Amino acid sequence: MIRKLIVSLLFVFILQIVNAQKTATIEDSITNYFNEIKIATKKHTLLWDKNLYGPILLVNPVTRMAYANVPDSAGILQSNGSVYRGILPLNINIANTAIHWNGNDWAMILLPHLPETQQDRINLMAHELFHRAQPSLGFKPHDPINNHLNEKDGRVYLRLELEALKMALTSTTISEIKKNITNALYFREYRYLIYPAADSTENMLELNEGLAEYTGVMIRGGNKVQIIEHFKQNINAFLTNPTFVRSFVYQTIPIYGYILQTQKEHWNKDINANSHLTNYFIKAFEISFPDNLKKSVLTLSNKYNGSAIIDEETKREERIKKLIAEYKSKFIEQPHFEIRFEKMNISFDPRNMMPIDDKGTVYPTIRVTDNWGILEVSDGALISANWDKISITNPTELDKKNIKGIGWVLTLNDGYAVEKDPDGNYKLLKK
């Protein structure tokens, strides 16, 4: 009996040592991550005439354990050496983003899967640190709808633009770079002819996410070969995304900006919240347009794999029509559950959003916090076009606090209840 007790105590003691070693290893890595970005941002202070380093939260979305480089005002994050750690409250959505919480503006980055390479880690953290500093740099956060990039022609001419940009990156002479940049902007301007409002909506998102990603690229470091390879890998990964409506900006502005900075360092300091980035690049690269842009674009497309791109997008269009029909049936035509927003905050994956005509956008995965509680969706939800409500399938399990449906869970706060109407739809009501 005594021997078994000794063995059990020894096992517990060893387990405690192992867990302590694991914690130490994690926090050593966290300290290293903070040091990496601190050194990199200081080195590139001239990029925005400001050191972007500031409060950072590295958060595990499963455990909600957060590691920070500074404390919070409420004392949730407790000091453990040079790192502050604590559990984030459930009402805080976890994503790669910038948030205001407990006395600080934070750059939040997800754990445990930070990029493996130092350059990629710095790129990601610098991107989010730009968002944290965005108001002080004079840029307002905008997230406009770019549904035209889920349509065949929108996708075709974006892909052709990216093909031209890839060739510009790998061109070896100034004249070849200029020719490919010119053609990229031809494809872009033709896209704007097809979709007249696109130059405004794309520009707003590029001022927001595009400049953030350009900042990440410039702070990441690396030589020309490494940066070009980074861009090529990013474009290849981007092309596998289900939709382009939001993630396109991570490709366009960083590449235009990187090429331009070889001619005009810190061009970005010319830009403000009212700038039109496409017009700026047209002027900076000294681009002139032909009288018949459509004819030029159709002629040029074959140089950039146009036939294959058009064929792929034609086939995709047929698949997407079926998917959109399914979503309309699921969230609009059939009985469903509508929840009105009051003071919502959301986190989602920008790579897989699916616009549904003028009805809104389907988010396959999304987390919403609001006055009424927390909604976690893993199998699709429709946010209305004017962002006043979210629609999900009808509940399968009803409880006062915990309500479940296929692919979603709703945790209700006090003062709210779910009610079914005569048509079989469910609604969320205040008591």
What percent of the chain clears pLDDT 90, i.e. is strictly above it? 88
Pairing of strands 360-363, 354-355: antiparallel
Q: Indicate whether 198 and 259 sit together in one domain.
A: yes
Average pLDDT over residues 350-362: 91
Q: Indicate whether 129 and 183 sit together in one domain.
A: no
Whether 403 maps to a domain, the answer reads yes
Whether 312 maps to a domain, the answer reads no
- The Cα 377–Cα 380 span in angstroms is 6
Q: Indicate whether 114 and 151 sit together in one domain.
A: no
pLDDT band at residue 324 under the 50/70/90 scheme: very high
pTM of the model: 0.89
Q: Indicate whether 131 and 151 sit together in one domain.
A: no
User: 31: closest CA among 96, 103, 79?
Assistant: 79
Domain range for residue 207? 147-304
User: Residue 110 is encoded by which pair of tokens?
Assistant: 């997800």
Residue 17 has pLDDT above 50, yes or no: no
Are 103 and 71 in contact by the 8 Å Cβ rule? The answer is: no
Reduced to 3 states (helix: H, G, I; strand: E, B; else coil), residue 236 is: helix
- Residue ending a domain, among 70, 100, 135, is 135
DSSP letters along 114-145, please?
Answer: --SSHHHHHHHHHHHHHHHHHHHHT-------
Average pLDDT over the chain, rounded to an integer:
93
Whether 310 maps to a domain, the answer reads no
Q: Indicate whether 87 and 162 sit together in one domain.
A: no
Residue 29 DSSP code: H
Residue 270 DSSP code: G
What percent of the chain clears pLDDT 70, i.e. is strictly above it? 94
Q: Indicate whether 64 and 108 sit together in one domain.
A: yes
Q: What would the pLDDT profile of 19-45 be if each residue is shown by its tens digit?
A: 444 444 788 899 999 999 999 999 999
- Residue ending a domain, among 283, 304, 325, is 304
Whether 142 maps to a domain, the answer reads no
Cα angle: 343, vertex 346, 348; to 5 degrees = 165
pLDDT at 400 (0 to 100): 81
Whether 283 maps to a domain, the answer reads yes
Whether 311 maps to a domain, the answer reads no
Query: CB-based burial of residue 327 (10 Å sphere; 0-12 exposed, 13-18 middle, 19+ buried)?
Result: buried
Q: Indicate whether 152 and 300 sit together in one domain.
A: yes
pLDDT band at residue 3 under the 50/70/90 scheme: low
Q: Indicate whether 109 and 248 sit together in one domain.
A: no
| Residue 355 neighbours by CB under 8 Å, 6+ apart | 145, 147, 150, 243, 245, 361, 362
Q: Indicate whether 353 and 387 sit together in one domain.
A: yes
Whether 240 maps to a domain, the answer reads yes
Residue 121 has pLDDT above 80, yes or no: yes
Whether 315 maps to a domain, the answer reads no
- Residue ending a domain, among 258, 285, 304, is 304
> Cis (ω within 30 of 0) for the bond into 89?
no
Q: Indicate whether 286 and 343 sit together in one domain.
A: no
Q: What would the pLDDT profile of 305-318 be if each residue is shown by its tens digit?
A: 999 999 999 999 99
Q: What would the pLDDT profile of 337-352 be if each residue is shown by its tens digit?
A: 999 999 999 999 888 8
Q: Indicate whether 122 and 160 sit together in one domain.
A: no
Q: Which residue is associated with the tokens 């900042």?
A: 215
pLDDT at 431 (0 to 100): 83
**Structural domain tally of the chain?**
3
Q: Indicate whether 242 and 127 sit together in one domain.
A: no
Highest mean pLDDT among 64-68, 81-85, 111-115: 64-68
User: Residue 126 is encoded by which pair of tokens?
Assistant: 């610098």
